[in-house]
Amino acid sequence: MTIINQATSWQDLPPLLTTAEVCALFRVSPRTVDKWVENGDLRRVLLGNAWKYPKQIVRNLAENANADPWEE
């Protein structure tokens, strides 16, 4: 079970999310996440050889898209 499956709110998430975690939150493919980055809708940082997405940036994207994963 991933951290995304266990989370019940944004506070439960780590400060930096992986691509897989962002995909799980929005139920999209990694290619869609890459497109969001290319379009400037999402920012990421390279740590070692892995892309990480700041939680607040991901949350802002969700709120702007009215796609909050914890809203009913």
Predicted confidence pLDDT, tens digits, the chain (72 residues):
456 666 666 676 778 899 999 999 899 999 999 999 999 999 999 999 999 999 999 988 988 887 666 565
* CATH hierarchy code of domain 12-64: 1.10.1660
User: Which own/partner pairs from 43-48 qualify as long-range (CB within 8 Å, at least 24 positions apart)?
Assistant: 45/16, 47/16
Domain ranges of the chain: 12-64
Phi, psi of 57 (to 5 degrees): -65, -40
Q: Tell whether pTM > 0.85.
A: no
